[in-house]
Amino acid sequence: MTMKAKALSLLLCASVAMSLTACGSNNADESGNQAAAANSETGSNDASATNTEPAAKDDGPFTKYDEQITVSLGRQGVSGNNLPDGDTLENNKFLKYVEDRLNVKVKYEFSVEDMDAYNQKVNLTIASSTIPDIMVVNEQQFKRLAKAGSLADLTDIYEKYSSPLIKEYYSSYSDDRVLNTGRIDGKLYGLPNTNIDGSYQLLWVRKDWLDKLNLKVPSSIEDVKAVAKAFKEQDPDGNGKPDTVGLLGDKSIVGDGGFFTFDPIFNLNHSYPKSWFKDDSGNVVYGSTTPETKQALAQLSEMYKDGLIDKEFLTRKWEDNAGLVSSGRAGILFAPWFAGWMLSDNVKADPNAEWVPVAGPVDGEGKRNVVPSAPSGTFLVVSKNAEHPEAALKMLSVEYEGIRLIDPASQEIYKDKGVSWLNYPLNLQLDFQDALARDIPVYDKVLQDNDMKDLPARLIPRVNSILKNHKEPKKDIAAFADSLAFYVAGAVTGAKEIAKVNPIFYGSTETMVKRGANLDKLENETFLRIITGAAPIDDFDKFVTTWKSTGGDTVAKEVEESIK
**The domain made up of 202-371+502-507 is a member of CATH 3.40.1160.10:** no
Q: 287 near 273, Cβ under 8 Å?
A: yes
Give the integer Cα–Cα distance in Å for 182 and 189. Answer: 6
Predicted confidence at residue 177, as pLDDT, reads 86
Predicted confidence at residue 6, as pLDDT, reads 52
Q: What is the pLDDT of residues 158-215, one digit of tens each?
A: 999 999 999 999 999 987 889 999 999 999 999 999 999 899 999 999 999 999 999 9
Q: Is the pLDDT of residue 1 over 60?
A: no
Task: Supply φ then ψ for residue 449, to 5 degrees.
Answer: -95, -15
Q: Is the pLDDT of residue 103 over 70?
A: yes
Predicted confidence at residue 44, as pLDDT, reads 30
Domains 31-196+376-423 and 202-371+502-507 share a fold: yes
Q: What is the pLDDT of residues 40-58, one digit of tens each?
A: 322 333 333 333 343 445 5
48-52, 312-316, 349-353, 354-358: segment of lowest average pLDDT: 48-52
Predicted confidence at residue 7, as pLDDT, reads 52
Q: What is the pLDDT of residues 200-228, one digit of tens each?
A: 999 999 999 999 999 999 999 999 999 99
Q: Which residue, among 176, 172, 175, has the nearest Cα to 197 in the 3D structure? A: 172
Percent of the chain's residues with pLDDT above 90: 80
Q: Is the pLDDT of residue 36 over 70?
A: no
Mean local confidence (pLDDT), 381-397: 98
5-19, 37-51, 79-93, 412-426: segment of lowest average pLDDT: 37-51
Bridge partners for 205 per DSSP: 332, 356
Q: Pairing between strand 134-138 and 69-76?
A: parallel
Predicted confidence at residue 57, as pLDDT, reads 54
Predicted confidence at residue 422, as pLDDT, reads 94
Q: E strands of 449-505, at which residues?
A: 498-500
If phi > 0 it is left, if psi is from -120 to 50 it is alpha, else beta; for residue 273 that is beta
Give the integer Cα–Cα distance in Å for 33 and 432. Answer: 8
DSSP string, 216-274: PPP-SHHHHHHHHHHHHHS-TT-SSSS---SB---TT---TT-SS--HHHHHHTT--TT
Q: Which residues 6+ apart lie within 8 Å of 461 measured at CB?
A: 26, 27, 28, 29
- Cβ atoms < 10 Å from Cβ of 502: 11
Calculate the average pLDDT of the chain: 89
Q: Is 500 helix (H, G, I), strand (E, B) or coil?
A: strand
Mean local confidence (pLDDT), 403-407: 94
Predicted confidence at residue 231, as pLDDT, reads 98
Bridge partners for 75 per DSSP: 111
pTM, two decimals, is 0.84
Give the integer Cα–Cα distance in Å for 220 and 228. Answer: 12
Predicted confidence at residue 564, as pLDDT, reads 77
Q: Is the pLDDT of residue 452 over 70?
A: yes
Q: Is the pLDDT of residue 535 over 90?
A: yes
If phi > 0 it is left, if psi is from -120 to 50 it is alpha, else beta; for residue 365 that is alpha
Res. 16 pLDDT band, cuts 50 70 90: very low
Res. 80 pLDDT band, cuts 50 70 90: confident
Using CB atoms within 10 A of its CB, is residue 463 exposed (0-12), middle (13-18) or buried (19+)?
buried
Q: Is the pLDDT of residue 276 over 50?
A: yes
The CATH code of domain 31-196+376-423 reads 3.40.190.10
Q: Which residue, among 537, 256, 206, has the nearest Cα to 370 in the 3D structure? A: 256
Percent of the chain's residues with pLDDT above 70: 90
Domain map of the chain by residue range?
31-196+376-423, 202-371+502-507
Give the integer Cα–Cα distance in Å for 191 and 180. Answer: 9
Q: 269 near 552, Cβ under 8 Å?
A: no
- Cβ atoms < 10 Å from Cβ of 236: 23
Q: What is the pLDDT of residues 217-257, one digit of tens each?
A: 999 999 999 999 999 999 999 999 999 999 999 999 999 99
Bridge partners for 106 per DSSP: 71
Q: 31 near 172, Cβ under 8 Å?
A: no
Give the integer Cα–Cα distance in Å for 326 and 376. Answer: 33
R_g of the chain, CA atoms, integer Å = 25
The 3-state DSSP composition of the chain as helix, strand, coil percent (nearest 5) reads 45, 10, 45
Predicted confidence at residue 375, as pLDDT, reads 86
Res. 416 pLDDT band, cuts 50 70 90: confident
Q: Which residues 6+ apart lie within 8 Å of 163 measured at CB?
A: 40, 41, 61, 62, 397, 400, 401
Res. 259 pLDDT band, cuts 50 70 90: very high
Predicted confidence at residue 342, as pLDDT, reads 96
